[in-house]
Amino acid sequence: MSALISTRDADPAGSFRPQESTVSASKKSVAGHSQAIVILAFAASAAWGSAGIITQVAEDVGDWGRATEFAILAEVVSGLLFTIGLLHLFLPRIVAPVLRFLPWSLVLGLFLAAWEWSTAKSGLLPMPFFPPPQALLEVFLDDGGKLLESVLASLELLSLGVFFGAVVGFGLGVALGCWKAIGYWMHPILRLIGPLPPVAWLPLAFFAFPSSHAASIFLIALAVGFPVTILTWSGVRGVDPAYYDVARTMGASRWFLIRKVAIPAALPHVFIGLFMGLGASFVVLVTAEMMGVKAGLGFYMNWAQGWAAYANMYACLLVMALMCSSLVTLLFKVRDWLLSYQKNALQW
């Protein structure tokens, strides 16, 4: 007992405090972590600053616009990262929300510096297939209005297709899971149509529908509807029969069982189907806009390829990636909000 007491300091209340060496080691660990964050912020600042210096000082091998604007943008980001590093030394709580982006800031700064040097400065990558970063900035600044119109047109087409596909797929999946007769007639049709890629129906859709816009909506709805149908069906069929038995003993009707038991239990599977369908819908969206629609990101990309405007094509790809990522993030937020009751149940 005396040996145990000798390793700790007892306070008047009879509890024990850890050794000063343990507290000192903990403080050193925190200080080391803070120092590493500051070094990372300064390194990211140097990477962005080098990208701006290379753009402004080194001689171009071609004629590229907006080089000055890109250099200024890189130096502004470099200054912000340097300020974050300084603030972390004195006011760490202010910059705490943005610290998680520092590693990516460093990687992106190094990537931009290497990209600038290998394209506009050294010509290591062949032109015009690999334009420098200031060429993409030129597209956003000079052709931003046309890109925005394309984004709005694609969003309209995508939202209509996803809405109809999700509604029809959800209703059909619930019906398949709750009524055996519907499953008997629809299951062979789904096995026949479902595995086929939606773009394979492109010629038939353009023939059957009065406009290319309506045909594109149908193809997107088809891409979303199949995974939503299958996973909703799986979710309804996978509900524990004990839930139905308990509800029936309390006098629940068939519609009550569907609305209050089957659908809430199937919602996680429904969102998995929506995630899968959203990814497939972007493939169909680009293909449909390239084939017949007169506006949208796919139409813009097809136009850029036709004129060998690779900077415009890469800018369109970047916008499309950001749009898809934003929609997936929004869908995650909606899922977490609708399924918040499951988190509460797990906490209990």
Q: Are residues 90 and 201 in the same domain?
A: no
Chain segment 218-243, per-residue pLDDT in tens: 999 999 999 999 999 988 888 877 87
Identify whether 236 is part of a domain. yes
Classify each residue of 25-55 as buried b or exposed e, where b means 16 or more C-beta atoms within 10 Å of its C-beta.
Answer: eeeeeeeeeeeebbebbbbbbbbbbbbbbbb
At 186, which CATH number? 1.10.3720.10
Chain segment 21-79, per-residue pLDDT in tens: 555 555 555 556 778 898 999 999 999 999 999 999 988 887 788 899 999 999 999 99
Domain boundary among 75, 99, 131: 131
- Least confident segment among 65-79, 96-110, 272-286: 272-286
Identify whether 137 is part of a domain. no
Q: Give Cα 62 to chain centroid, integer Å.
A: 35
Chain segment 152-178, per-residue pLDDT in tens: 999 999 999 999 999 999 999 999 888
Identify whether 248 is part of a domain. yes
Residue 16 pLDDT > 50:
no
Identify whether 292 is part of a domain. yes
- Can you tell me the distance from the alpha carbon of 38 to that of 314, in angstroms, rounded to the nearest whole number? 34
Total residue length of the chain: 348
Identify whether 10 is part of a domain. no
pLDDT at position 2 is 44
The pTM of this model reads 0.78
pLDDT at position 32 is 63
Q: Are residues 106 and 182 in the same domain?
A: no
Range of the domain at 158: 144-347
Helix (H) or strand (E) run with residue 46 in it: helix 20-57
Domain boundary among 131, 157, 172: 131
Domain boundary among 76, 102, 131: 131
Identify whether 9 is part of a domain. no
Number of domains in the chain: 2
Identify whether 238 is part of a domain. yes
Tokens of 270: 């429904």
